Chain A
Amino acid sequence: MSPWSEGLRRLRRYPSAVAGMLIILALLGTAIYAVTAIPYSEAQKLWRGGEVWQDLPVNAAPVWTDRLFGGNAPRTVKAGSEAAEREFAAFDGGRIEEQTLRFDFPYDDFPGEINLFLQAEFEQRPPFVRMSWHRPDGSEVALGSRRVSAEERVSISQDQGLEGRLGHAPQVGLFSDADVEDPEPRVLPGTYELVLETVHFEPEGRMDAELVAYGQVHGLFGTDHQRRDLSVALLWGTPVALAFGLIAAVGTTITTLIIAAAGVWYGGWVDAAIQRLTEVNIILPLLPILVMVGTLYSTSIWLMLGVVVALGIFSAGIKMYRAMLLPIRQAPYIEAARAYGAGSPRIVLRYMVPRILPVLIPTFVTLIPTYVFLEASLAVLGLGDPVLPTWGKVLHDAQAQSALYHGFYYWVVSPAALLMLTGLGFAMLGFALDRVFNPRLRNL
């Protein structure tokens, strides 16, 4: 049995290692799903925000947190022209259209805001629309009338005049039967109607409407201050975090190990130079330098990765590997390799490095979360990648918008939980690996 499968077999006896591996597998699955479901460029475009998200509410909590505590906060309700009843009456030089947007509102709380998106097709004269609101109890509120340009957004919930007439914010007044004096309006559940009477001044004139009553909850992870669905960032944060952690950990440990082995093998001034470089590098403060590079040059995640790896090459680990490699240099199998004529690079790469690789694996696994958190740290400081969504950037947005102060706990908790899960997964596996591969620890 090879030492690897032997190690794996022994690893199965540690429940924490199994749990860690399951977490890592789940994260890997999520990462693969994210990359295949939303391509790289698509993810960047989505995260840039803007019109893509105009139908989502601002700062909506996840649906399940609300339902968990017995709430029945409204989801976003949409009613569009496609499903509406449309009646046309032609007149000389145009036609009159009456469409009724109908929707159910079975929730216990008021919507966050109400917008009406209008799209008109006309040659010269724009159509004119009169809007009226019908509550389930039969009462009616006039929402005014207006001329419609090609694309228009009517913010009903910000209509000051309407607010004055209703005595409450429009999204409250329109969804309750309260009169002006009522201090605590209650939601009136049922079927609402928005009737749009449009006068087209051209026979072929057309107008499409979509009413959006924004909810207070949305999806699995909620939305942020720019209406972006957090699930995009949380999903895409997974491959970014894993790739960053993995590449940084591989990059630093492997190069460090090779350099340590070369130093031990060649000895003399090579060794001395490596030792001195390591000492300089220990004194260089990593995070301040990263912060400096981020502000002065670019915050691209790949540049950061490069700097991390570059600064990690001559890390303190060299001293440790050197101590392990020094006795190996004298080992008889190396002597044998020299005798058959192996060159120095071959001895370093094929004989010395593989010998201490197993000892390195636990360190390597426990290093991954360190770098995942490093990336998050940089993002929290506002030095996250400018275009890619990452967990750290979500946390940074949340911090910048004082999410905790405003009570948007979900905004902080979900990226933090994912970070924690990643950290725990790799750390648990790493600790168990440490015991498997370091015989001195095995019985402890």
Chain B
Amino acid sequence: MTDGAVNAARRGWLRDLRRLAVFTGKRLLALLVTVLIGVYLTIVIANMGGQVDDLRLAQIETTAAEAVRADPAFHDLPSAERTELVEQQVALEVERLRLDEPFIWRSFDYLYQAMILDLGRAEEMHSDAGSRQVFNIIAERLPATLLLFGTANLLVFFVAVFAALGLSRRYGSALDQSVIGLAPSSAAPGWFYGIFLILLLAFIWPLFPAGGMVSVPPPEDGWAYASSVLRHMALPVLAMFISQIFISIYSWRTFFLIHSSEDYVEMARAKGLPDRLIEQRYILRPTLSPIVTSFLLMLIGLWSGAIILEQVFNWPGLGTLLFEAIGHRDTPVIIGSVVIFAYLLAITVFVLDFLYAILDPRVRIEGGRS
């Protein structure tokens, strides 16, 4: 290879890299704005457009009045002075929470804090470790959600893609037909199958625990702990797997079939290339970017599906947390969870864009001008 060719190749790489950076930067900016708007909407809805403040004010008034009435030190005071004392306390508290300012100003303040993930203190709830910081409460629950949904999604994805490849090779067979026939079963969400699995495998034949993440009390030994978590994971993962797998196989199979009837694949077959090579180079390679897209879109869809499945299986993740927070009307925790959800979604979308840019040469060459 001559020096010129090496230089040209390097220039090409640099050009690609520069365009990729421009593209990434643009997308990052756009997503930031998107998250900003999304989080702001959440804050407005969660504060009921300012109505929550009235509730909070009423609560402050009762608490202050109670505190003054209960304190024996103030018992001898005349009632006028006592009322004044209550009013003073209320005013202090209102100033501390800045409830005297219009909601619209505070909402921007909340927005800024939410964006830098300073999620504030919870009003009622606390983490298992005892922290009142919303960020700590959420951070404690996040791994549980990631563990459960990561496992289930990866399992569904890989099983579906490989099963679909196999089926597209034998299309029309009895197995193929039965998978098509089973595809409508995915109309029901995971929690729905979860209820049946709990009924069958936890109550009728008690093979697995009905809910929770580890047995009580948690085993001391690391291995025992892991195996306990695995046993508890089995049913929720199975529920998600059942609800997703057939539709995934079906759509991948259709997708591969459409792509394996392209002319260039026919030509490769005519050349007598082995099946494995055709699959890897002629079918999988050009379809990689749609495959990745749908994988990440599936992730997006499943983040919010988490709430009910976690609720049904009593899994201590983000979904259960959000539900508890709503039960307690703990606005900071609700906003915090929705912000985290929005961030997770945005990150997913960003990774999607980025992978697209790497996998799809058209995006690389146009440098995000699309």
CB distance from B115 to the nearest CB of A (A): 13
**Residue of B185, B199, B329 touching A409 (CB-CB under 8 A):** B199
List the A side residues contacting B42 at CB < 8 Å: 284, 289, 292
| Least CB separation from B202: chain A residue | A404
Number of interface residues of B (CB under 8 A): 56
Residue contact B196 to A292, C-beta cutoff 8 Å: no
Residue contact B184 to A286, C-beta cutoff 8 Å: no
Number of interface residues of A (CB under 8 A): 50
List the B side residues contacting A20 at CB < 8 Å: 184
CB distance from B170 to the nearest CB of A (A): 13
Residue contact A285 to B191, C-beta cutoff 8 Å: no
CB distance from A285 to the nearest CB of B (A): 4
**Residue of A289, A376, A381, A409 touching B311 (CB-CB under 8 A):** A381
Q: Interface majority SS on A: helix, strand, loop or mixed? A: helix
Residue contact A284 to B38, C-beta cutoff 8 Å: yes
Given known A-B contacts A279-B30, A288-B307, A296-B46, A423 and B341 have beta carbons under 8 A apart = no
Residue B258 CB within 8 A of the other chain: yes
Residue contact B203 to A405, C-beta cutoff 8 Å: yes
Write 10 A-B pairs (CB below 8 A) sorted by A numbering. A279-B31, A282-B300, A282-B349, A284-B38, A291-B322, A292-B338, A395-B195, A423-B187, A441-B254, A444-B258
Residue contact B45 to A288, C-beta cutoff 8 Å: no
Residue contact A427 to B326, C-beta cutoff 8 Å: no
Given known A-B contacts A279-B30, A287-B305, A423 and B188 have beta carbons under 8 A apart = yes
Residue B337 CB within 8 A of the other chain: yes
Residue contact A285 to B326, C-beta cutoff 8 Å: no
Residue A339 CB within 8 A of the other chain: no
List the B side residues contacting A297 at CB < 8 Å: 48
List the B side residues contacting A283 at CB < 8 Å: 31, 34-35, 38, 342, 345-346, 349
- For window 310-332 of B, CB contacts with A under 8 Å fall at 311-312, 322-323, 326-327, 329
Residue contact A287 to B188, C-beta cutoff 8 Å: no
| Least CB separation from A374: chain B residue | B189
CB distance from B206 to the nearest CB of A (A): 11
Provide the bound-state CA to CA distance between A38 and B91, in Å: 55
Tell me the B residues contacting A by CB distance below 8 Å. 30-31, 33-35, 37-38, 41-42, 45-46, 48, 52, 171, 180-181, 183-189, 191-192, 195-196, 198-199, 203, 210, 254, 257-258, 297, 300, 303-305, 307-308, 311-312, 322-323, 326-327, 329, 334, 337-338, 341-342, 345-346, 349
Residues 408-428 of A, flagged 1 when their CB comes within 8 A of B and 0 if not, give: 010011001001100110111
List the A side residues contacting B30 at CB < 8 Å: 276, 279
CB distance from A304 to the nearest CB of B (A): 14
Given known A-B contacts A283-B346, A409-B199, A373 and B311 have beta carbons under 8 A apart = no
Provide the bound-state CA to CA distance between A370 and B349, in Å: 23
CB distance from B354 to the nearest CB of A (A): 16
Given known A-B contacts A280-B37, A287-B305, A288-B304, A373 and B199 have beta carbons under 8 A apart = no
